[in-house]
Amino acid sequence: MNPIEERGHKRSPPPYDPLEWGYCKIRRDLLGGSLALLGLILGGTLGYQIIAGWRWLDALYMTVITLATVGFGETYPLSDKGRVFTIALILAGVVCIACIANRFTDAIIQGYFQHGIRQRRQRRFMEQLSHHYIVCGFGRTGRQVALEFAADGIPFVVMDADPASII
């Protein structure tokens, strides 16, 4: 038993499909970027409250329009400390949002989202199956057995070492 299981935590095995591995990584990266953005919003709000002494809603409003680079202008006049804080908040926000956009675009281009949806749909279908046959290997014989099962309306699942051969 490995140390993680000894402490009561179970870790799922790493995915063997490169697309599934990429999908998991993209999800982690997007979650991390979203949490970083949330942290910037909270940090910006607290920063304006502490540095400028603003009310919570005014500080949140200023943080959101700053991170969104809307450019409405300052809610109230800022001191030099407040301007330096705003500059830092803008730079951090642009970097954070650019990273999120980068990972999201990569996910769309690489097809990770479509693959994740397809995998979820396939797992849901397999979990609902009962009283079915499992065809191991989709070579010449496995393909023939699958064709006969399909023609007779017999529920079955095909497993093969090469998932691309099943499609």
Which pLDDT value is given to residue 162? Answer: 80
Q: What is the pLDDT of residue 11?
A: 56
**Residue 2, token pair as written in the block:** 């490995």
Assign 14 a pLDDT band (cuts: 50, 70, 90): low
Domains plus CATH for the chain? 16-114 (1.10.287.70), 131-167 (no CATH)
Q: What is the pTM of this model?
A: 0.64
Q: Which two tokens stand for residue 99?
A: 């990273």
More confident residue, 1 or 31: 31
Q: Taking a C-beta distance cutoff of 8 angstroms, is the pair 62, 85 a contact?
A: no
- Would you say residue 108 has pLDDT above 70? yes
Q: Is 109 helix (H, G, I), strand (E, B) or coil?
A: helix
Average pLDDT score over the chain: 85
Q: Which residues, in sequence order, are CB contacts of 129 under 8 Å at separation 6+?
A: 155, 157
pLDDT digits over 118-165, tens only?
A: 878 888 887 887 888 889 988 889 899 999 999 999 988 888 888 777
| Comparison of pLDDT for 107 and 98, the residue scoring more | 98
Give the highest mean pLDDT range of 1-15, 21-35, 81-95: 81-95
